[in-house]
Amino acid sequence: MTSKLEQLRSMTTVVADTGDIEAVARLKPVDCTTNPSIVLKALGTDAFKDAFQEAITWGKAKGGKDDAVIGAIADRMAISVGAALAALVPGRVSTEVDADLSFDTKASIDKAHQIIAGYKERGIEKDRILIKLASTWEGIRAAEVLQKEGIDCNLTLLFSKAQAIACAEAKVFLISPFVGRILDWYKKSTGEDYTSETDPGVVSVRSIYNYYKANGIGTIVMGASFRNAGEIEALAGCDRLTISPQLLDELNAAEGTLKRALSPDSVKAEPHVSLDEKAFRWAMNEDAMATEKLAEGIRGFAKDLGTLRGQIAKALAA
């Protein structure tokens, strides 16, 4: 019998959530996703030691140590990680806009343009890249503009159906609802344990998937942030799933039948909803979990980005 990973590949596009070059080469995902935390970790490995030094040398040649130069060096390092991953996968690589721009639409658009230009300098066209943006109102508006320009976006830190609906209306290419972080919040809030079927993160993604398919919405649903293989199995059949190397290995070693849990052929009818800014913000206000996890996620990514910038500043001064 084939492994559960191979069975999953037959019904879902498998994406690796990592900057680990060796793991990507071994596990052969279609796409790769990164974020500031993943980039920071990758740059601390031997695989990217030269890329880190190259970016520092490049930055020194720019003749400055101000915030703009440090930011440009950080972008260059993130693109180095993304370019290495793009050389290994046949599909897309997601690269994230700075977390501290999550509430600035124009700055997010400008940063996305810089990222795309950085990849183009390395011979990697925009059709191989997804620009990751936090699913704030401002991030969704930035994605709407970028999509019209032909730059596909991955809206991340998505915890609610309201965020998913707003992304669909902006014609976003792909969304990344965070399964595990939703589970984390509910376990802490209620003190309860959940099965794969009752897992609030799984339930959330299934609801979003049903809404999209019932209304003919083309935005791709890519479940993310998994805490265990059971969550992944409970979403088998979802458009895409981005999975850590540890859980990919676990699925690769697992035998038994993997049943399809989601299919566009078995969705239930659901009315279409439209959200303006006022309705979106109220829906988020009413959802404590989504509001808290979105803010926490932005703070976490901003912290790791700040750590990277600190390392760059130290290297420039050396």
Q: Which residues of 40-79 are buried (b: 16+ CB within 10 A; e: fewer)?
A: bbbbeeeebeebbeebbeebeeeeeeeeebbbbbbbbbbb
105, two tokens: 């639409």
Determine the longest span between alpha carbons in the chain, in angstroms: 62
Q: Which of 154, 5, 29, 13 minimizes the C-alpha distance to 85? A: 29
Angle between helices 137-148 and 161-169 (to 10 degrees): 30
**Active-site annotation holds for 132:** yes
User: What does DSSP assign to residue 97?
Assistant: P
The catalytic position among 4, 111, 126, 132 is 132
Tell me the sheet residues that pair with 255.
none
Tell me the sheet residues that pair with 154.
132, 174
Tell me the sheet residues that pair with 224.
178
Return d(Cα 32, Cα 40) in angstroms, integer: 16
97, two tokens: 């806009």
Residue 108 contacts residue 101 (beta carbons within 8 Å): yes
Q: What is the identity of the amino acid at 4?
A: K
Tell me the sheet residues that pair with 178.
224
How many CB atoms are closer than 10 A to CB 23?
A: 18
Name 247's Cβ contacts closer than 8 Å, sequence gap at least 6.
Answer: 226, 228, 229, 232
Report the half-sphere exposure of 51 (CA within 13 A, side-chain side): 20
User: What does DSSP assign to residue 224?
Assistant: B
Residues with catalytic roles: 132
